[in-house]
Amino acid sequence: MKLFIYHTPELTPVDKVPECAIAVDVLRATSTMATVLAAGGEAVQVFSDLEQLIQVSQSWPAEKRLLAGERGGAKVPGFDLGNSPLDCTPDRVEGRRLFISTTNGTRTLQRVQNAQTVIAAAFINRGAVVRYLLEMQPQTVWIVGSGWEGSFSLEDTACAGAIAHAVVEQTGLPTDEIAGNDEVINAIALYSQWQDNLLGLFHHASHGKRLLRLECYEDLKYCSQADTLDVLPVQKEPGVLKRY
């Protein structure tokens, strides 16, 4: 198994497709997706375009759908939800499909949707992701951070490093054998430095600061917890993720 980490979807190779692609948007899209499926959501369907989301969602009964829209960290007017995992309680999402479009995370999932296996990962479900990798042993794995509008983000690369770090620890293999590119070494080092203070890392991150200005402190706190949800969101058809 070779791991490759890309800080943003724009940095992934255009002429290759991995056996397994892991999309990461810790703040907050993939954290929200994992939370929805853990709370009994039927599925999560992702869109880059808000108009397309609205159009496709209309084919679902009103009582079976939830529309989640976020731009710039804020909820899109007229949508049921923004991008806060704290709003995704079982009484709200159970049995429903979440139709979601966010600034960064949904774009990442669409970039890698042609991989044989596509997974959504965050700190909260890191353990479930690592278990899948160790059980299935895919040959090539891309861990793709969402960044912020095309630029690097601390929290996504740290999460990618957390996944790689756990794989190295649990296999006992040298990092050089697992790392497919230099970014893997970089991400493991970043995670190792901050693993005991992920919330502190989020306070340094530009998107973390953006969310704090929107008074989303509790979201940061929730998303900084590691291995709290035993749920693996896996793509079942392009753009549609369900619990594995």
Q: Per the structure block, which two tokens stand in for 71? A: 């731009």
CATH of the domain at 236: 3.90.1560.10
Mean pLDDT (the chain) is 96
pLDDT score, position 21: 98
pLDDT, tens digit, 9 for 90 and up, residues 153-203:
999 999 999 999 999 999 999 999 999 999 999 999 999 999 999 999 999
Count: domains in the chain: 1
| Structural domain containing residue 201 | 2-243
Residue 229 has pLDDT above 90, yes or no: yes
For residue 29, the model assigns a pLDDT of: 95
Asked if the peptide bond before residue 28 counts as cis, ω within 30 degrees of 0, the response is yes
> Tens digits of per-residue pLDDT, 53-110?
999 999 999 999 999 999 988 999 999 999 999 999 999 999 999 999 998 888 899 9
Alpha-carbon span 210 to 216, nearest angstrom: 9
148-175 residues labelled b (16+ CB within 10 A) or e (exposed)? beeeebbbbbbbbbbbbbbbbeeeeeee
pTM value > 0.95: yes
For 230, residues 6+ apart whose C-beta sits below 8 A from its C-beta are 38, 125, 127, 128
When pLDDT is cut at 50, 70 and 90, the band that residue 150 belongs to is: confident
* Angle ∠(210,211,216) on CA atoms, nearest 5: 160
